[in-house]
Structure formats: structure tokens, C-alpha cells
Amino acid sequence: EVAASGDPRAFFAELEDDMWSGCAAIGPVERAKVFPADPDCCCAVRFVAPSKAAECVRTMDGRFFNGHAIFAAHWDGNLRR
């Protein structure tokens, strides 16, 4: 999908916006970040309240976005896959 978009920067910026707005429906978001260099197109979202992060994991894990299943989990910033 990135290649088909014609503008990778715009693609990832729109993805960040989509992540932010989707997660903001759960609770106030402090930050949303997409990691474009990751082949799995990982994203990280930081909520103001930790309880909202837990709710986001329960809500988003297993959902589909643009035809792809979302894997949602808590991340300590150091997790290596």
C-alpha cells in the first residue's frame, strides 16, 4: 500500500492521524507514532491514562485495518521482536 500511495511520507502521516483518531475514541492520546522503517509497519500510541492503554489493547487486538489484522500489545519501549 505504501508504494501504491505514490507518496510514502503522506501515507505514514495519514496512518498516524488515523491511529490518533481511532485511539482518541478510547481516551486522550498523548502521542501516536508510526515506524516506517519497520517492515511490519509498527505503530505506538501513548495515552494520558494507563488504563486507556489497557482498554486500547483489548479493543484493537485482532481488529482489521485496511485488510490487515492488528496485533496490539503493551510496549515498554525496549521490546525486541
Q: Express each pLDDT in 9-60 by its tens digit.
A: 888 898 899 889 999 999 999 999 988 888 787 889 999 999 999 999 999 9
CB-based contacts of 59: which residues, under 8 Å, 6+ apart? 26, 72
Cα–Cα–Cα angle for 78, 56, 46, rounded to 5 degrees: 45
Q: Is the pLDDT of residue 77 over 80?
A: no
